[in-house]
Amino acid sequence: MNLDNKIRTIPNFPKKGIMFKDITTVLKDAEGLAFCVDTLYEKYKNKGITKIIGIESRGFIIGTALAYRLSIGFVPIRKPGKLPAETIRQEYQLEYGTDAIEIHKDAISHGERVLMHDDVLATGGTMEAACKLVNQLGGVIVGLSFLIELSFLNPRKKLKEYDIFSLISYDSE
């Protein structure tokens, strides 16, 4: 399947100069959605993964579907103040300033094998922070999966210690 044909590009969103890759057009397409989940399932079905870690918010969509398909649990990583139980927090750098994400302290057990998932790999900052949270809890990161990778931003530089799999990669805006 040519996934690129199912991804909509929105110019100047969320700010001028950005060519936003919109996955909602893939999600609303039954064939496109099935392709994404099935391809990731085939890649990870024999890796001994016990949880999918999805990053807010679009990482929840395919992440939960994949967890269901693999018959394993799903754990959300969210923006601060969105999780109800005790959390740990990781700050990370943005282009202008900082942001933070959190995970429940009891979300994963020490030594548990997890797959990290998000919709888009851009600069790698959010995923790098998410990996730090999982490492702090003692999780074993089996891989990082994405629907889209913006390779022209060189995100793998920050995440070079991990096995990264993206369904589609863009070499330029």
Q: Output the tens digit of pLDDT for each of the chain's 173 residues.
A: 999 999 999 999 988 988 999 999 999 999 999 999 999 999 999 999 999 999 999 999 999 999 999 999 999 999 999 999 999 999 998 877 899 999 999 999 999 999 999 999 999 999 999 999 999 999 999 999 999 999 999 999 999 999 999 999 999 87
CB 171 within 8 A of CB 151: yes
Dist CA 143 CA 137 (whole Å): 16
- At residue 143, the pLDDT reads 98
Can you read off the two tokens belonging to residue 101?
């994400």
- At residue 148, the pLDDT reads 97
Dist CA 135 CA 123 (whole Å): 20
Dist CA 117 CA 68 (whole Å): 14
CB 26 within 8 A of CB 7: yes
- At residue 94, the pLDDT reads 80
- At residue 79, the pLDDT reads 97
- At residue 97, the pLDDT reads 82
- At residue 90, the pLDDT reads 98
Dist CA 8 CA 147 (whole Å): 13
- At residue 172, the pLDDT reads 86
45-170: CATH topology is Rossmann fold (3.40.50)
- At residue 60, the pLDDT reads 98
Active-site positions read 58, 95
- At residue 139, the pLDDT reads 98
